[in-house]
Structure 1
Amino acid sequence: MSYSVSGNPVRGIVIATHGVGDSAASLSDIATHFGSSFQVYLVDLLGHGHAPRLSDEQLQDPFAAVAEHFEGDLAQIINAAPGGLPVIVLGHSFGGAVAAHVARRNPQL
């Protein structure tokens, strides 16, 4: 898993993902904007930024592979974060599709 974390979790937690061909670094404005009130996690999706590369097998269905990997990342982040705070998951473009897919499959998160 590859992510950066910053901010102050006064009001909650923001977990953000990026679009295809980008990385968590492209989301730095989110950390700047929300950091005074939220703990902000900027996550590199599988195959992007500093995250592991997709294997040949994963390249057969890259969306499913990225979503499955993000599902694990999301669970780890939420389980390690301060409890009782609201969690906002957002994504840009492809990251939004992945975030929506994972949220639909895992409402408990």
Structure 2
Amino acid sequence: MTANDGVEFYVRDIFKDQSGETVVVGIPNNGMPIKVGDRFELRYEIDCDDVLNGVPNPIRRNCISVQLSVQRIDFMRKDVDKLPHGVTGGLYLSGAGLDGVIPTCFLRTAAR
């Protein structure tokens, strides 16, 4: 992975907070943090068997273009500016494509 790779975010769950806003819970999982202001451009799925078998660069399935911006990040009920690699947190997203985001999918930003 290089600094030019996009950030990958694994979606674990989606729920509504007390105010009714959608929260996408997950983990940045390719060594880079997610930051407020990041924009996701792709949503996709990876076959579970590929993950379990450690397949390098598994085939992306059900790819959908999205335009989702990170508005807020919740970590342990506190707003933070970034979510480090491997740390679970909730993202508040705005833009097009949120309806296609489901648990166990991945979101990817453009290259930095």
Give the TM interval when normalised to the shorter protein.
Answer: under 0.3
More helix by share: 1
Which of the pair has the greater relative contact order for Cα pairs under 8 Å at 6+ separation?
2
Output the TM-score relative to the length of structure 2.
Answer: 0.26
